[in-house]
């Protein structure tokens, strides 16, 4: 059985849009019946962060100012490799690789 869904869809979309526009214009009236523009409403809106959110925001700002790499450590490792003093703990490396692999298993 075939259903023709193209009939009336344009009308339904227009009706839905018109209803939304009407509801939108009705919502700009406040409870006293006075017209309030959305610009006036937006200027009165405020946001206040909780103490925890403010701390997180401050920490995020501090972290974003940190360099992506610890260049001092990079230089120390480079110098140790160049001098032949850089030691790799193969057991620790293997353990860490297994731990990472377990995350994806």
Q: So what's the pLDDT on residue 49? A: 82
pLDDT in tens, 26-82: 555 444 455 555 555 557 788 888 999 899 999 999 999 888 889 999 999 999 999
Structural domain count of the chain:
1
On whether residue 45 sits in a domain, the answer given is no
Contact partners, residue 38, CB within 8 Å, separation at least 6:
28
On whether residue 74 sits in a domain, the answer given is yes
At 89, is the pLDDT very low, low, confident or very high (cuts 50, 70, 90)? very high
On whether residue 85 sits in a domain, the answer given is yes
Count Cβ neighbours within 10 Å for each residue of 62-99 and write b for 16 or more, e otherwise: eeeeeeeeeeeeeeeeeeeeeeeeeeeeeeeeeeeeee
Q: So what's the pLDDT on residue 44? A: 77
On whether residue 11 sits in a domain, the answer given is no
Which residue range(s) make up the domain with 92?
Answer: 68-105
Q: So what's the pLDDT on residue 25? A: 54
pLDDT in tens, 9-24: 444 444 555 565 555 5
On whether residue 4 sits in a domain, the answer given is no
């Amino acid at each position: 059985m075939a259903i023709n869904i193209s009939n009336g869809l344009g009308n339904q979309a227009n009706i839905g849009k018109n209803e939304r526009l009407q509801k939108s214009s009705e919502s700009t009236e406040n409870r006293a019946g006075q017209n309030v523009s959305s610009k006036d409403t937006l200027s009165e809106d405020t946001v206040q962060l909780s103490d925890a959110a403010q701390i997180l925001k401050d920490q995020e700002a501090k972290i974003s100012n940190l360099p992506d790499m610890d260049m001092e450590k990079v230089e120390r490792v480079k110098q140790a490799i160049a001098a032949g003093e850089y030691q790799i703990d193969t057991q620790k490396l293997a353990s860490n690789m297994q731990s990472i692999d377990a995350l994806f298993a």
